[in-house]
Amino acid sequence: MAGNYLDMFSLEGKTALITGANTGLGQGICLAYAQAGANVIGVARRSCQETAEKIAAVSGSFTEILADLSDLSVISRIVAEANAVCGRVDILVNNAGLIKRCDAVDVTVEEWDSVIDVNQRMVFFLCQAFAKGWIQDKKGGRIINIASMLSFQGGIRVPSYTASKSAVMGLTKALANEWSQHNINVNAIAPGYMATNNTANLRSDEQRGDEILSRIPAGRWGTPEDIAGAAIFLASEASSYVNGFTLAVDGGWLAR
C-alpha cells in the first residue's frame, strides 16, 4: 500500500511548463519535476542553458522556449510551441516575476505597470490560455502560481510587487472556483525569504539581512530545493482534492 501512495507523487508521462526557468526557484522546480519523471519545458527571456545542463545530468527531458513575459502577444506562441514539443501540457507553473524596490511616493507609472504586466496580467492570461485547451479536451490540468509572503503582508518599498502578489493569491482562489469542476486544480506556493536573485540586494544589506534572518524560525534563508516538495505535491495526483489554496514554504515566517 505504501508503494501505491508514493506513486501518487510521480509525474511520469506528464509535461510541465515553468516560466522563469533560467534561474532561482524556476530552475529548482524544473529540476525537481524532471527528477519526478516529467517532460520539462522552460520559458524565460534569457537562455536556460544552465537549467538544461542540470536536467541532462539526471537524464531528464528539457526544452527551452525564449519569450519576453512582459508582452501578452507571446502567449499564443508559447502554447503552440509547447504543444508541438510534447502534444499537451499538463502542468503550468507561473513562476516568472519582477520586483522593483522604491519608496511608494516615488513609484512611476512605468515602473508600476512593468511589475503588474509580468506578475499579474501575464499570470492570468497564461492560465486562461492553457485552461481553454484543458476544458476543451476534458483531460484537466494543474496550475501552480508562485505567490509570496507579500500575498499576506504589506512589505516595505515594494508596493507594486505587493499588489501583484496579493492579486496572485486572489486569482488562484477565483480560478479554482470556476475550473475545479473541469478537473483543473489551481493552487499557489508562497515562498518565504529565499536565497535567489530577487533577494540579492536584501542579503547584501547587512542590517536588513540580519533583521530578516532573525525573524525566520528555521534560522536560515530558503533555497530552491526547499520548494521542490511543495511543487511536486501540487502538480501530482497526491493533491487531487486541493483547490484554491496558497501553501507557504517560509521556514515559519508567517507563524511569528
Grid coordinates of 73: 502577444
Dist CA 155 CA 157 (whole Å): 7
H or E segment to which residue 54 belongs: helix 49-56
Task: Report yes or no: 219 and 252 within 8 Å, Cβ to Cβ.
Answer: no
Buried b vs exposed e over 41-70: b needs ≥16 C-beta within 10 Å?
bbbbbeebeebbebbeeeebbbbbbebebb
H or E segment to which residue 159 belongs: helix 159-179
Annotated catalytic residues are 161
Name the CA dihedral angle for 56, 60, 61, 64, rounded to a multiple of 10 degrees. -50
Dist CA 215 CA 68 (whole Å): 35
Strand partners, 41: 17, 63
* Angle subtended by helix axes 49-56 and 24-35, to nearest 10: 30
Kindly list the distances between the CA atom of residue 27 and the CA atoms of 8, 147, 157, 215, 254, in Å, as whole numbers in the listed order. 23, 16, 27, 27, 25
Dist CA 118 CA 171 (whole Å): 14
